[in-house]
Structure 1
Amino acid sequence: MPEPSASPKRRGRLLRFGAALVVLLALAGYLAVQYVTGGRGAPGCRVVSGGDDKAAYDLTPEQAVNAATIAAVGTGRRMPERAVTIALATALQESGLRNIEHGDRDSLGLFQQRPSQGWGTEQQILDPTYAAGVFYQHLAEVHDYAKLPLTVAAQRVQRSGFPEAYAKHEPDAELLSAALTGHSAATLTCDGRPAATPATGPDGVRAALVRDFGRDALQPAAVEVGAASTPAPASTPGARTVTLPVDTDTSPAKGRGARQRGWQLAHWAVANSSALHIERVQYGGREWIAGNTDSRWRTVAAGSGAGGARQGSGAVRIVTAQ
């Protein structure tokens, strides 16, 4: 004889209990994530306006690294800030500033460049430094690109099926460009939570600097590119510090002063803080420290090792986890 089925009232109570349990578990999971990540759903970065308009744009550490590379390659090629803005807006539209390995037909990478259309090999296109360089190469061939509307300049390089799409990214690209070319000071911050990759110390920072800025661009500034770390215990700050002097305008980008170069390098370091396990960046009397709740740039006292209190003086100092 079959078991009598549960009454409608009992089934209703069970359904309500199950729904409440699901909600409680979801809330517990959310609170756990908030506790572990310091109140933000995931480690992230933020760029803000250097003016009074309170504009801001949030991005992931991966996006920040790629944006910093695009800016570094642009200034290394003596491209103006407008060119960097065009490149960043293009990458935001094409890939969301992610180095993706797929796309329409054979499109790849930050700019969704196609090997079959002569942009390079798959391996080259998936190298963000190469991809940014070849984008700027084509942009430089566009007559008066800096005077054109952004969407027109980008389209003459990309030949996209949706040419108007680039325009919507212009405000965010302008914020990123101002920070990552050093035009705006202390406007890029990141949580700086270390990525799940081995820490590489100062040598890893030097290698990444060469990757993005080039060896020739750094050596005139008295940077010991590829040199061994200071022969001291890894626990001491000196053994974990990369110092980039910027007192003299040695930037290859035309019209860029030492202060702008310094803030570009400082923001580059913050953008790479998760990937390279960077704990502290100092420049121009300001300091960023990983792990702070708001990750703000704070004013530091003169003589504290932050390159002096005077804006634009001294050196950029990058302190790694080991």
Structure 2
Amino acid sequence: MYSARDLAQASGLGAAKGAMTKVAAIGGFIVLMVVVMLAPFGARGDQVSAACPPGAPGGANDPQPTGPLRVIQVAYARIIDGVAVSRGLPGQATLVALMTALQESQLQNLSYGDRDSVGLFQQRPSAGWGTVAQIRDPVYAAEAFFGGDKPPSPPGLVDINGWESMPYTVAAQAVQVSAFPDAYARQEDSARSIAEEAGIDLNRPGDPYAGRSGAHPAPSAAPPSAVAAAAQCGGGLTNGKPIAGTWPPEVQSVPDPTGTGGMLTPRTAAWVAKARTALQNLSMSCWDAHLWNPTSDHPKGKACDVMVGADGRKSASARTKGDQVANWTLQTAGTTGVRYVIWYGRIWSARTGQWRPYNGGGVYNPSDATGGHYDHVHVSMY
């Protein structure tokens, strides 16, 4: 086992001079630690694989890794951020890089990938990103992702005019040119969580074009907007704080105003009226027998489904509409008595005030457009 002295010598920090020298030294140290920590788990087949197999996008907000993998992710996040800090890039650049590396490799320095892709960002030697050895150097890989005047030749983040005002997934895609351009936004929550654990300031100011010579485009004062992000997969939903309140039980006593022929609780009927006034042009259905799901709130008159017109994963307008309905519902939940909301593969609870991945509750297929609630927003009341 390595002693603290051995590890310090392996990292080279004691003799490192300058920010980038230290970052490079840490990179070599982390490669060593990856081997050490993953050795007990066997060969590559036992390691956590890349974020997505060839030909398929990664999952949104997968369960957060723990143990050795999380340690590795945090360490590589610090290396990536160290490169950004040494250049003078803003924290936003680090966030885009972390989201990209999570989607491409689960923030692992992989020796394999789709075709000849390797490394944290799954960069390809055949596309001009460098040699395999270079790409698997995490400092080099981060430098290449951020781009600028130094080789390699593919454009990096700072070479993209206006990247700082784009939705994060669009900025990532401008560098990566992936077959799944919307996938990167799915990793924002995970990236922020890792950054927090790593002590990275994602709100750090900086020059978004640091490392690029010549006249820089005027930085945009506007960050990626919720509306723009909602047009991509993964953005646009808000969290909040737990919502306290006492909501006494109610009986079904009001005819369903959505025309199902069933009966709703007064609280649910009042929510329907408010939603129709605030959001307008809603396609909504509330009461339903739901014989296949005896625990459903629909036959109890305590739930409504708001249809968005299409699978939000395939339609930007449907995604935007669903986000608007969900966010309004959360913002008014403290006065309307909303208990939980399910939309776009996530479930929000008034008890926690947070979104988390939705697993189908043992009844629905969460990958299906309806089962995963990608084509409608479900609202349940107390």
The normalised TM-score by structure 2 is 0.33
The normalised TM-score by structure 1 is 0.39
Q: Which has the higher helix share?
A: 1
